[in-house]
Amino acid sequence: MASGWGIDGSKGRCYDFWIDFSDCMSRCREPKDCSLLREDYLECLHHTKEFQRRNRIYKEEQRKLRAAEREAKEGKHVDTAHA
C-alpha cells in the first residue's frame, strides 16, 4: 500500500495521499492534527464513504419507485371504483 508501487509497476493510486499523511504525522504535535489526511488516505484505499453514498442513493431511488408503484395502484383502484 504505502510502498509507492501500484499493481502494474507504476505509482500506486493512493501513494500521494500516503505521502501527505506521512509528512503530516512526522511534523505534527498530536496525531489528531492529521485526521483529515488520514481520512483521505483511508477513503482512497477502501472507498467506504463512496459506497455509503451509493447505497443511500440506491435506497432512496428504491423508496421512490415503491412510492410511485403504490400511488399507481391506489390511482387504479380509485379509477375502477368510480367506473
Closest to 23 measured CA to CA, from 33, 13, 8: 33
- What percent of the chain shows pLDDT beyond 70? 87
Q: Return the DSSP state at 11.
A: B
Closest to 36 measured CA to CA, from 50, 54, 17, 52: 17
Model confidence pLDDT, tens digit, residues 9-44: 889 999 999 999 999 999 999 999 999 999 999 999
Residue 79: the pLDDT is: 47
Q: What is the overall mean pLDDT for the chain? A: 88
Burial category of 41 from C-beta neighbours within 10 Å (exposed 0-12, middle 13-18, buried 19 and up): buried
Residue 74: the pLDDT is: 87
